[in-house]
Amino acid sequence: MADTFPGWHGTTIIGIRKGGRVVIAGDGQVSLGATVIKGTARKVRRLSPGGHDVVAGFAGSTADAFTLLERLEKKLEAAPGQLARAAVELAKDWRTDKYLQKLEAMLIVTDGAALYVITGAGDVLEPEHDVAAIGSGGMFALAAARALMDSDHDAETIARRAMAIAAEICVYTNGNLTVEVIQA
Which of the following is catalytic: 11, 12, 110, 173? 11
Buried-exposed string 41-70: b where 16+ CB fall within 10 A, e elsewhere: bebbbebebeebebbbbbbbbeebbebbbe
Looking at residue 4, its pLDDT comes to 42
Residue 62 appears among annotated catalytic residues: no
Looking at residue 69, its pLDDT comes to 92
Looking at residue 9, its pLDDT comes to 53
Q: Which domains does the chain have, with CATH numbers?
A: 8-172 (3.60.20.10)
pLDDT tens, the chain, 184 aa long: 344 434 445 789 999 999 999 999 999 998 888 889 999 999 999 998 878 899 999 998 888 888 899 999 999 999 999 999 999 999 998 888 888 888 888 999 999 999 999 988 889 999 999 999 999 999 999 999 999 999 999 999 999 999 999 999 999 999 999 999 999 7
Looking at residue 58, its pLDDT comes to 94
